[in-house]
Amino acid sequence: MANSTFFESTRDSKSPNRNISPITTQINVNGGLDIGGCTLSELASRYGTPLYVLDEETIRASCIAYRESLKKYYPGPSLALYASKANSSLIMSSLIASEGMGLDAVSEGELLTAINGGVPVEKIVFHGNNKSDQELYFACQNGVTIVIDNQYDIDRLEKIIPTINRSVNLMLRFTPGIECHTHEYIRTGHLDSKFGFDPDQLETVLKKLVDSKWANLSGLHAHIGSQIFELQPHEDLVAVMVDALILAKQIGHSIKDLNVGGGLGVRYIESDDPPSISDWVKAISNKLVQECKKRDIKLPRLMCEPGRSLIASAGVTLYTIGSQKNIPGIRSYISVDGGMSDNPRPITYQSSYHACLVDRVIENADQTVTIAGKHCESGDVLLKDFCLPETRSEEILGVFGTGAYNFSMSSNYNRIPRPAAVIVNKGHSEIVQRRETPEDLLRLDVLPDRFIGLN
Q: What is Dmax (Cα atoms) for the chain? A: 78
Single out the catalytic residue among 38, 292, 304, 376.
376
CB 396 within 8 A of CB 318: yes
Residue of 313, 167, 117, 288 whose CA lies nearest to 102? 117
Q: What is the residue type of 96?
A: I
Cis peptide before 22 (omega within 30 of 0): no
Spatial distance between the Cα atoms of 295 and 248, rounded to a whole number of angstroms? 14
CB 180 within 8 A of CB 225: yes
Between strands 315-327 and 396-400, the pairing is: antiparallel
Cβ burial, residue 328 (10 Å; 0-12/13-18/19+): exposed
Spatial distance between the Cα atoms of 262 and 272, rounded to a whole number of angstroms? 18
Spatial distance between the Cα atoms of 336 and 46, rounded to a whole number of angstroms? 18
Spatial distance between the Cα atoms of 36 and 55, rounded to a whole number of angstroms? 6
Ramachandran sector of residue 140 (left: φ over 0; alpha: ψ -120 to 50; beta: rest): alpha
Spatial distance between the Cα atoms of 145 and 123, rounded to a whole number of angstroms? 8
Known catalytic membership, residue 387: no
Enumerate the active-site residues.
Answer: 376
